[in-house]
Amino acid sequence: MTDVWAEWLRNRRSGGSEEQRRRVLERLGPVRDRILDAADVGPGVVVLDVGCGDGLVGLGALERGADVIFSDISEACLDDCRAIAGDRARYVRTDATALGDLEADAVTTRSVLIYVDDKQRAFDEFFRVLRPGGRLSIFEPINRFGMDENRRTLGGFDVTGVEDLVARLWPGDDETNRAMVDFDERDLLALADRAGFVDLQLDYRASVGSDPSLAPRDWATFVGSAPNPLVPTLAETMAAELTPDETARVTAKLRPQVEAGTLVTRLATAYLLAHKS
């Protein structure tokens, strides 16, 4: 069984490259650990991992002795988690905005709200399913940061001479990207506050510069990777939007930068910890 979410996690996120997949997981390991540390996850703690995906956070919680509920809208993703964790955990197909009769001591999410249109409803659900004294620990990329520059440069390239072509290659239309860019770190605090959470702590970080974890990369892997489950790969976009001659021009400009690792990235992320009294 597969769907767009599972297919992205299994293949399209890494362009089918095992080396790139290893790099991605290596980069995400500290994110997982920070989410779990903040939520004070340990033996006997009931963790609801909302939007569990391939199980990065939930599997980490299992390793700490927690009782884990994997929750996702994708049955295929739940199957992937089940294949690893077996009967050591529970698996529930739910949307972040409708968590049903679940209960937990800690709710965790990683890069989930960027796909949720009604973010306030999601926070309300997180609050509702938490037991008194429960913790919400989340990580989100703040894609609004550097949005205009990222769009102009296709995420950090020197596009001198091919600006007109690159302008046609931004992944997804505005509607597809809306949920990903309709909030920032201040909104996360406001959403949690309105939901009833207390003792809010937010750690925000923004950077502009080279990202060693992204470089260097194989060109075929790079153009065969999709930045998220809802948009095409760069190779697919070029095939749909550019002529062969135009594709050759863009490739000649971008490929050396990918293989040399000279992209200038504009990234912002936020960790939020909140409590239910």
pLDDT of residue 177: 81
Low-confidence stretches of the chain (pLDDT < 50) are: none
pLDDT of 173 reads: 63
Amino acid 172: pLDDT: 66
Q: What is the pLDDT of residues 80-111, one digit of tens each?
A: 999 999 999 999 999 999 999 999 999 999 99
Four-point Cα dihedral 171, 123, 55, 101, nearest 10: -130
Number of domains in the chain: 1
Q: Put the strands of the sheet holding 198-209 in their side by side order.
A: 90-93, 67-72, 46-50, 104-110, 130-141, 265-275, 198-209
Looking at residue 225, its pLDDT comes to 94
Q: Is the pTM of this model over 0.85?
A: yes
5, 53 contact by CB (below 8 A): yes
Residue 210's pLDDT is: 78
Q: Which domain holds residue 266?
A: 4-275
CATH number of the domain bearing residue 264: 3.40.50.150
pLDDT, tens digit (0-9, with 9 covering 90-100), for 102-159: 999 999 999 999 999 999 999 999 999 999 999 999 999 999 999 999 999 999 999 9
Q: What is the pLDDT of residue 212?
A: 61
Q: How far is CA 190 from CA 80, 99, 136, 220, in A?
A: 34, 21, 14, 42
Q: What is the DSSP letter of 115?
A: G
